[in-house]
Structure formats: C-alpha cells, structure tokens
Amino acid sequence: MKDGMPQVESPSPPSTVEFTLNGRPVAVRPDPRRSLLSVLRDDLDIISPKNGCEPMGQCGCCTVLINGRPRLSCTIPASAAAGKSVTTLEGLPDETRKQIADCFVHAGGVQCGFCIPGIAIRAHALCGDGAPPSRDQINHELRAHLCRCTGYTKIVDAIDLLARVRGGEPMPADGCRGRVGERLHRYSGHDATLGARRFIDDMKLPGMVFAAPRLSDHPRALVRRIDAAPALAMPGVLRVVTAADVPGNRHVGLITPDWPVFVAEGEETRYVGDVLAFVVATDLLAARDAAERIEVDYEVRTPVTTPDDAMRPDAPKIHPGGNLLSRSTLARGDVSGALARSAHVIEDVWQTQCIEHLYLEPEACIAAPPAPQEGTEHRAQETKERHEGVPAKAGNARRREAGQAARGAETHDVISPMARLRVYSQGQGVFDDRRQVASVLGWPVERVQVDLVSNGGAFGGKEDLSVQAQTALCAVLVGRPVKCVLTREQSMRLHPKRHPVRIALKVGCDKEGRLTAVRARIVGDKGAYASVGAKVLERAAGHAIGPYRCDHVDIESLAVYTNNPPNGAMRGFGANQAAYAIEGAMDRLAERVGIDGWEIRWRNILRQGDRFCTGQRLTKPFGLEQTLLAVRDAYRGAKYAGIACGIKNVGIGNGLPEIGRASLTIEPDGTITLRTGHTEMGQGLFTVAIQAAIEETGLPAELFRAACDTSDPLDSGQTTGSRGTVLTCHAVIDACRKLKVDLEAEATKRRSDEATKGWRRVLRGLAGRKYVGEWECYKTDKFGADVPEPKTHLTYGFATQVCILDENGRIRKFIAAHDVGRVMNPTLLEGQLEGSIHMGLGYALTEEMVYHQGRLVTDDVKSCGVLRAHHMPEIELILIEVPDPECPYGARGVAEIGLVPTAPAVAGALAKFEGRHRNRLPMRDSAAARAMGAKDMTKVR
C-alpha cells in the first residue's frame, strides 16, 4: 500500500460488474483496484458514503448496506458487489429520510456532518422492525465509527430517539422561533445528516481533472534532481508541476512565510510532508499512480528530531535564521526570593505529546480557472519540455510552431488580466487563503475568489494552507478545473499537529496553600515550519499559572524547529498543555499543605479585580467561583475523584487585530444571504449568526441563508481562538441594526403583517441592498509588554471539571461546570463541550502521534488512539451564565475551554486511585486507559 492506496503492478483489464443500487440495476466496469466506495461516489454520484480513510476501513464514514447489513464500502472491491443489493441513504423513501434527519437534528447529533451519513445508515438498519436498542447496544454498534466533533452523546440520543419514534412515539415538538437562547436547529443540518450537503470531494465541475502530490521520502535530504519523465509518460497525465513553475512567492505562512509550497531542486527537505511535485491527470487513480513514478535523487541527511538536539550549538540549521523560532518571556516580582520564603515548593517536569487532529474529512481543494487566452498553453508546453530535458532552442521552435497552429485555429489561451480564479477551500480563513494563493500565483488578490465549502472538521488544523496554492497553480497551468484530495496517510504526513511541550515548573505556596511564586520553563517542538507555533508557545506561557493569583512569576517559552512534521493550532492552543502542568503542581501542593484539591483551588482562583498571568486585570464579572461551587459536593463525595480548573482566552489578542465582519444581502426572492468573514466548520457559527439576526430583526429563520466567501470585503482573519461567535455576532448585530431601519420603513410603506410571506414581500422591496456590519475589539497589548495595566485579551472562558473513577479505575462519570457567559443555543453549546471533553479524554489517556527519526509510526486512523462511543463515560454539564458586557448578549467563546482542564482532572483521579502522580501524557498505562483497551488503539515505537 502506498499513500493509502492499494498498489498493483499489472492491473487486469476491467470487467463488467452488475449489482442492484437503491432498488435499480446498475452495471459498471471499474479498474480492479477500485473499491465499491470509489465506484459509488465517482461513477454513480452517490455521495452520502464519505471517504475518510480509504482503504483503511477505520472511520466508518463509508458505511452502506449490502444485502441489508452495514458494511464498510472502502474495504470492499467493487467486483465483490456483483449480484448483491447495495442501499445508501439516497435510496431510502423520502418519509424515512426525513425521519432520520429530524431525529439527528433535533437531538443535536450532527455537527460538521462528515461522519454522520455513515452513522445514519447504520442507525436505519439498527432501528428496524425488532425491539428498540438500548443505549449500551447503540454504543456497541457504533464501534466501527469515529466522530471527532460530538463526543457521541448526542449521536446516541439521536439513534435512541429514532428507535422510539419508529416504535410509535411522537416526534418532540419544536416551537422554536430561533431567538438567542433557544434550540434553533442546526443550519443545513438535515442535508448534512443525509449526506446531501456536498463537501469538496463531493463536488464535480465540467471538464474537471485531478491532481495528486509527490511528497518527500525523507525528513531531511538534499533534493538533487526531480525527474518527472516517468510520470509524464503515463496515460492520462497532463502536467507535472514543480517549484520551477511557481510564478510568484513560493513560501507561505500565516505569520512567518517559511513554508515552501514546493521544495525545489538544490534545496533541503524539512519533513516527510514536504511537497516536491504535483501531477495533474484525467482521473484520480492516474494522478496518484504517476506521482509515485516521479524519480527523486536525494542526498539523505540525518534529521534533527528533538528540540534539545535542535538547540545544540553544532546542530544543523533547519532554517537560515537558526532553529529557534520564538522566545516568549514574562517576569513579575521577585520569584527567587518568594520561593525561598515559601512553606512548600514543588519542582518537576511535565511532558505532553503530539496529537493528530484527525478531522474526518481529509484536505481537499478545487480550483477553477478563468477563461484562458493565448499564452498559457505555451507556458504549459515550456514546463513539460523542461521536465523532458528538451533543449531551450528546440523548445522555443516547437512552441513557435504550436503558437502558429493555435492562432490558425483561433485558440485563445492567455488568462485575461481581469479574470478571476475561483478556489473552493475548506480552510479556517478564506481571506488568508486568498492572500496566500494570490501571492503564489503572483497575482493581485482581487483576481482570486475563495469560497468556503464548510469542512468536515478542523480544530485548528485547517488554518494553514494545505493544497490550495498548488491546486490553484495547477488549474491555471492546465486551464481546467482541478481537484486535489489527499489520502488519509498523506493528510497525516502533511498537516500541522498539536505541539508536544515540555514544561519545567517550580511552584511555591505558603503554609495556607496560597501560591507565592511560579517559575516556568517551556519548550515546544515546532516541527519543520512556523505555522502559528510562536503564538501557541506564547499562549502556553500566558496560561502557565492557570486561573490562579500569583504575584511572582518568571516564565520563558521557546518554539524550536525540528525535522518532525509541523505543529500548529489545535483546540486549546497551548493552554491545555500549560494546564496539565500547573494543575498537577496544585494537587501536589494540596497534599503538602494537608487540604484537598478543591480547597487549594478555592483559595487561589482568580476573582474580579485580580491579575491573570499576562498581567491583565480581570475587571469584568466572571463565574469561576460558581463553577467550583457547582462541583464541590460531587468531588468530595467520590472516593476516586480528580479536579482541575481552566481558563482560556477568547480571541487571539496579544497585540494582533481582532475584528468581526458580516453582511446581509437582500435577494430578489425576499430571502437574506448572511455572509461572515469566519468559517463554519461544525461548531454552529452559521446557526448562531442567524439567531443573532433573528434576535435583532424579528424575522423568521427560514428567510436566512448563510455563506462565507471573499465576494464581500469581510476579512476577519482566522476562525480561531474561540472568537467566531463573539466577533461574528457583534458584526451581525451591527448589520441588522442598519437593515432594521430600512425594514421598518418598507414595512410601514407596505403595511404588511409579519407572516413569512408578508416579510418576503417587504424584503423584495429592498432587493439588491447590502448591509455590512463590523465590530473591532480595543487594541490589545503584546505578551510581556511593559505597560502598567496590560489588556492582552477581550475576555476568557472559565471552567472546573471533575473526573470520577469506579472501583476498577475506569472513568465512571465526568462533570464539567463552565461559565459560558450566555447560552446562545443550548444544543450547540452542549455539543461543543461534549466534543471537547471527548477530545480531552483521548488527550489524557490514549491519543498520541508517534514519530521515529522524523517518520510516522502512527500511520493509520486506529493507531491515533481516538476514543469511540463505547469508551465514553457519562458526562454531566453544568452551565453557568455570568454575562460578559463586552460580548454579544454576554456570550463567551466555548470552543476550546472544554478540554483545557480535562487531562489534569483525569490525572488527579488516577493519583487517588494509584497512589502516585503522573507527569507525562498520554497516561496509556493507567487503569483508566487499560479499561478502554488503550493497548489496542495506539502504536508505540
């Protein structure tokens, strides 16, 4: 197997395969290497089964029914379907489809939607004519499926509801108008459940061709020569694209542009995901086969794979400026003196691990070029000749002949200076995507239009460009729409991960257990490229003392380049790494003082008017005290319980701009298109934005459509830092207040009632008008700025979590109390927190991305260690509402805080059970992990 695709030396010719699909006979002639999933999707346009990991068969997204039984279609050769009956969601009766979708949407069992169609078809089979399944049976049946968004609770709720409805119970009434605080159904949730909402890999454009990357074979090697001739000789290959074809800037990056979209001959690779070439071919299999035929001559060099090795004076320089990307420092008070006076001092080192995001939708992009004119074909031919070794003079002559023939045929193949390239991206910031793609092409940004295709999960991993720039360049060079979809193995090699971080702490307290001083030395493995690593390590520094008061702090945090795959943004963004260390220290100090974990936290937590670690004084009300009080009895009433508090910034802050933009466009049919500058990626941003619009205008939900693209000037930066809801809803409120003035005037003129049809008539009178809203946060201060009263962030999320183990050490219950400011949508909020806790439990116990000498040891889905439904404990959520006056309706961002205290809460419970404290993640050898079957879930070197 190569790059997740089965390799066959000499495929036999295709033969006809006949089977029944959704009740009708079909006949196909697939390549013998192709799976049933591939044939269903690419030949028959059946898109409800998704390709999350073909041919691994480890995520469940591809599930279909074969002769009535759920099967993983990515593992089944298309020929094996011969004579069988295949059923997908597309083939179910309309009433049945609606019933399934209603149950999933009502229960909140769908977020990004990529995994749900596979689960939904299994749910249909499970909730058949027999007895309704128990929740334990549902969990058992879901073992083949992964969901990275929901934490499974609401999926099980949805299947349980479906069984009850099929057993005769009425569907619960809705009655929701969609105002803030109500359970408005997820925008496009029905289509997502049924697999009808198209992701990028589901899209097809006329004349579309396919691209595949050739990645580096070595984490560190000099590329002497790239020989594309073997690939160009293969049938169906249109073009091989390399660094020599890049007309603009070859390096990209959100903060530091150090990441080449192609590594050139004569340069050194920095990790195994470096792109050397792209192959464009008429079909996907041909492109991937040809990419493997590209021959690369290397001078292999020893990789630098640890920060300690990278920081040695004699270490090879991974980048020209050296191996230290950033140093973040903060000093306040007299740490040495305070430690010397402390009654108790804890000193130890905590180590966290690298984590794979494992969003279920691999990276994908489509780029559609503008209409070509004369010239492009010549450039394409020139590059092909360069790969074939054609002498320059001979190539010029050949191109002149080609040009004469083209002109004789009145062919036009130069792209107009005003034409626009259209890029379909799954990224977390379409305006950043546009800027970087335009830079690579050497074009002004106005010539690039980027449309968000809501992605199948991101969690920070789709902030950086993946394949958008290369795909766009391919489309321009071949003059046709180009699609690139990575295999799961390619995805795991290419995109940034969660930083492994080492934190050395020395923490003191007085005899009452009140913190006196914290000294922290933090080192993060940045991997090969900057990504946003400087900010992640800065964030770890800013959260190094957690949500606690301490007057004397001395913090240094380093981001260090290595030849490992890059590490970048992932849910928590450094705060969760820091929390694991400081919360562990708090537990040990509590033992020294002779008090319990709850009490030491109560004595030290931040209260209104106190200074956070960064120096920012928290002048606004917040509910950290209430979260601690909410879990006190549960913590003290359990024999084996761990407790941890958490704080997480909302917004990027630290001196970077913080702005939200949105627009409302009145369409001719009387509907409203709500555009945001931020990305919908399963968290429900479009839904809460619509709720804000309903709250402000009183208009019904069905009048609103949501989108994110670059057609309006709504650049709001990345959808990151738990800020999407806060910034977008502020902007929507501003736009709606402008709309409302015209709306009331038009309604008065027409004397219309407020029924939907009446509102449509009113809005048709405003057709073509656009209302742009904007909100900008005050200027924040840089981390460590020497100012008297630094304001580093807009606001924060706060939480206390408790983990309770049973007598065997298994997690019996997990309790999470969160100050959310204001509940915008209870269903969406609960789903975000349950999904965060699921991710946090995996982080604590089972998940790890393992490398050896810069190469992946963790090379498939299963070995990433992500928890399945049957692993999850009962989760109890306690929502505290202390509104933040600077946030829309008082709501704080919650996307990340849900996992910040999770791992240390688990560690605290295990310390009670095992009688020892742990300082390394994941805690795979613990009783809690063993109860989950951790040894069968991960690979270790």
Task: Assess whether pLDDT exceeds 70 at residue 868.
Answer: yes
Judge whether 743 and 759 are in contact, CB under 8 Å.
Answer: no
User: Using CA atoms, how far apart are residues 261 and 249, in angstroms rounded to an integer?
Assistant: 9
Tokens 């499970």 correspond to what residue?
A: 126
Continuous segment of H or E residues that includes residue 904 = helix 902-914
Task: Say what the pLDDT of residue 531 is.
Answer: 97
How many C-beta atoms lie closer than 10 Å to residue 620's C-beta?
16
Q: Identify the residue with better confidence: 417 or 220.
A: 220
DSSP code of residue 268: B
User: Using CA atoms, how far apart are residues 717 and 226, in angstroms rounded to an integer?
Assistant: 36
User: Using CA atoms, how far apart are residues 550 and 342, in angstroms rounded to an integer?
Assistant: 13
105-109, 200-204, 374-378, 818-822: range with lowest mean pLDDT: 374-378
Q: Dihedral sign for Cα 733, 739, 741, 744, please.
A: negative
Quick one: how far is CA 291 from the chain centroid?
A: 27
Q: pLDDT-derived band of residue 933, with 50, 70 and 90 as boundaries? A: confident
Q: What is the pTM of this model?
A: 0.93
Peptide bond preceding 55: is omega within 30 degrees of 0, i.e. cis?
yes
User: For residue 900, which of 585, 656, 649 has the smallest C-alpha distance?
Assistant: 649
Mean pLDDT of 50-62: 97
Task: Say what the pLDDT of residue 361 is.
Answer: 97
Mean pLDDT of 298-321: 98
Quick one: how far is CA 610 from the chain centroid?
A: 34
User: For residue 870, which of 781, 938, 931, 921 has the smallest C-alpha distance?
Assistant: 931
pLDDT digit string (tens) for 208-254? 999 999 999 999 999 999 999 999 999 999 999 999 999 999 999 99
pLDDT digit string (tens) for 559-589? 999 999 999 999 999 999 999 999 999 999 9
778-804: buried (b, 16+ CB within 10 Å) or exposed (e) per residue?
Answer: eebbbbbeeeeebbbbbbbbbbbbbbb
User: Using CA atoms, how far apart are residues 838 and 841, in angstroms rounded to an integer?
Assistant: 5
Q: Identify the residue with better confidence: 376 or 233.
A: 233
User: For residue 415, which of 439, 385, 444 has the smallest C-alpha distance?
Assistant: 444
Q: How far is CA 674 from CA 185, 679, 706, in A?
A: 17, 13, 5
Task: Say what the pLDDT of residue 932 is.
Answer: 86
Task: Say what the pLDDT of residue 858 is.
Answer: 94
User: Using CA atoms, how far apart are residues 123 and 131, in angstroms rounded to an integer?
Assistant: 13
Task: Assess whether pLDDT exceeds 50 at residue 413.
Answer: no
Judge whether 618 and 606 are in contact, CB under 8 Å.
Answer: yes
pLDDT digit string (tens) for 825-855? 999 999 999 999 999 999 999 999 999 999 9
Judge whether 893 and 723 are in contact, CB under 8 Å.
Answer: yes
Task: Say what the pLDDT of residue 746 is.
Answer: 85
Task: Say what the pLDDT of residue 412 is.
Answer: 31
Residue 823 CB partners (closer than 8 Å, separation 6+): 181, 829, 879, 881, 891
How many C-beta atoms lie closer than 10 Å to residue 613's C-beta?
27
Task: Assess whether pLDDT exceeds 60 at residue 382.
Answer: no
- Strands, E, within 30-180: which ranges? 63-66, 69-72, 85-87
User: For residue 675, which of 687, 665, 684, 667 has the smallest C-alpha distance?
Assistant: 665
- The 3-state DSSP class for residue 238 equals strand
Task: Assess whether pLDDT exceeds 80 at residue 415.
Answer: no
Task: Assess whether pLDDT exceeds 80 at residue 140.
Answer: yes
Q: pLDDT-derived band of residue 388, with 50, 70 and 90 as boundaries? A: very low
pLDDT digit string (tens) for 484-530? 999 999 999 999 999 999 999 999 999 999 999 999 999 999 999 99
pLDDT digit string (tens) for 737-749? 999 999 988 888 7
Task: Say what the pLDDT of residue 940 is.
Answer: 53
- The 3-state DSSP class for residue 648 equals strand
- Tokens coding 400: 């002149």
Tokens 């050949």 correspond to what residue?
A: 398
Residue 314 CB partners (closer than 8 Å, separation 6+): none
User: For residue 585, which of 499, 516, 500, 501 has the smallest C-alpha distance?
Assistant: 516
How many C-beta atoms lie closer than 10 Å to residue 4's C-beta?
22
User: Using CA atoms, how far apart are residues 274 and 296, in angstroms rounded to an integer?
Assistant: 13
| Percentage of the chain lying above the pLDDT 70 cut | 92
Task: Say what the pLDDT of residue 3 is.
Answer: 44
User: Using CA atoms, how far apart are residues 801 and 516, in angstroms rounded to an integer?
Assistant: 24
Rounded to the nearest integer, the mean pLDDT of the chain is 92
User: For residue 494, which of 366, 325, 327, 365 has the smallest C-alpha distance?
Assistant: 365
User: For residue 119, which of 103, 136, 95 has the smallest C-alpha distance?
Assistant: 103
Beta bridge partners of 225: 297
User: For residue 729, which of 742, 745, 716 has the smallest C-alpha distance?
Assistant: 716
